[in-house]
Structures are given as structure tokens and as C-alpha cells.
Amino acid sequence: MSDHIPMRVAVVGATGFQGGAIARLLAERNHRVRTLSRRPEGDRPPMPGVACASGDLGRPEDVRAMFEGATHAAVAMPLVYDEERVAQYALNVAHAARDAGVRRIVYNANTRVPAGRTHVAAFETRRVAEEVLRDSGVPLVVVRPPVYLDNLFSPWNGPALVNDGVLAYPLPAHTPTAWLSHEDLAETVYGALTADGVEGRSFDIGGARTLTGDHLAAAFARGLGRSVHYVPLEPAVFERSLARVLGDDAAAGIAGIYHYMATGADPLLMAGDDGTAARLLSVRPAPVEDWITRRPWQVWAEEPSGAER
């Protein structure tokens, strides 16, 4: 739909990892991108081709300014897990998109969402945002990713993988998961912005295939050229580690997903959808092994001792 006519896209969340991947892809394909950030200008990540204004999702006037002239929007909520606050953010986005005449919103829930209500803030805040955006009257496409591969290329996972062959993550070893990279998320959102006949749809997107923890470890063993074994991390341990970086509230919100998965109440929540989303959105997620081999894992390698040099 929009490959030949440049879109003007308001990207909510473009200073984050997932939103940043989406904004970069849009800019690389010569679409105009605008976002909003509370961070001081000097603290923002470099975003070539992306116009970034200072502002807050909680201020309707800031959100309206971001959406001025926009034809499309890609939206992800920040790491906030208070329903009232998230609902207000979504309402500000919905009003701004409607008033600007936006033709389509793609909402990235940044997680799968169970069919029934839960007591998990990570699910329910994303559910309420989806409901608000759907009620806006602006055509909406919803994408719900499983778990990001990029979580594993981090100071928490990288050294153990490279140096010890340990892949520790807070999902039960037997849980089937359609791991997805930020790159493939961006391609999927782009497809949701441009594909015909998908308005009003919700997609449980995912990677090329569904993997258990042991299958994922085997893929890493092939990609890294060393033995790798999977260790299911206790969600409480994961939460404590995350709190040191993000603070208690954000860590509890994110970890809530993994506490829920550990109960076994919905074991297929993070699994694939048999390729339905990829087919309708015209995307081809890369195999996990391809993602692994493209990462510079050597940055996590231990320095050899003096005697070994």
C-alpha cells in the first residue's frame, strides 16, 4: 500500500529498543518518522532520519504535536504497568490520531495477551491500551510478539552463553516459544502498516518456528560452535536482577509475564501461529541460527589471563 508513497509515521516508543528498530526501518525506507521523548536531547540514542520532540505521553498537547501531519502510527506503551496511567496514554494517542486523520495505527502490545482476564499487570495494561485504541475509530492492527531474542544478547546472558555455555532464561524448559528478533518485529510492524485487508485484525506474531528451551540451546550450540545447555531461571531471581537496572515497578511488571508462564496456566501462550501472521503481513522471520551468527558474541568473551596470552 505505502511502498511507493512515503508515509508520515508517528512512532510511539522510538527511543526504546523495539520502537527504535521500527523507526530505523521506516527511515531507511524513506518514510518520515516523528517521535516523542522525555529524555534530554543529549541522552537520546542517535536516530538518523527520525525527528524527536521533547514531550510526555501524559500531556495531550505533546501527543497532538507529535501526530500533526501523520498518516500512520506505530505504537508501543512504555514500561509502565498502572492501568489508569496507561489508559490515559492510550487515550491521548487515540484522540491525537483521530484528529490528525491517521489512516492506520499498528499497536505493538510487546507481549502475548491471554484470552481471559488475569491479575497480571503486564497483560492487563496492554489489553486496556488495545481496547482504547480500538474504540478510537482509527483503523487498527494489533501485533502481539512472544519473547525477543535480543533479550539474550545482553550483559545478563551473553557472558554465560559465550564463556560457560549456559542459556538461562525465566521460561520453563518445555514451554514452546516463537522467539522473535527486533529486526523481524520491525518488518512485521511495517507489514502491518502497509498490507491490504488486515485492518481490525490481531496477530500473535513470532519467529520462523517454535522452540522449547532445549531446542533454543541446540540452536545456540550450532551458532556459537560450542556446547550450550538451557537452564530455566526462577522468575523471582530474574525480577531481582531486573530491578537493579529498571527499578522495582518496571521489573515487577515485566517479570509478571514470567511468573504467569511458570504456573503452566497457558503453556502455548508464546507459541507460533502456524505462519498465519507472516503470510498475511508478507514477512519471512529469519531462523534463530541466522540471528545468532549475525551477533558479535565475542564482546562477552572473557579476556585470557597473562599466562595464556
Per-residue pLDDT at 54? 87
Give the residue with greater pLDDT, 172 vs 38: 172
Amino acid at 293: T
Answer yes or no: is pLDDT of 159 > 60: yes
Check residues 195 and 208 and name the one with the higher pLDDT.
195
Give tens-digit pLDDT for 97-114: 999 999 999 999 999 999
pLDDT digits over 219-234, tens only? 999 999 999 999 999 9
Residue 2 has pLDDT above 60, yes or no: no
pLDDT of residue 42: 67
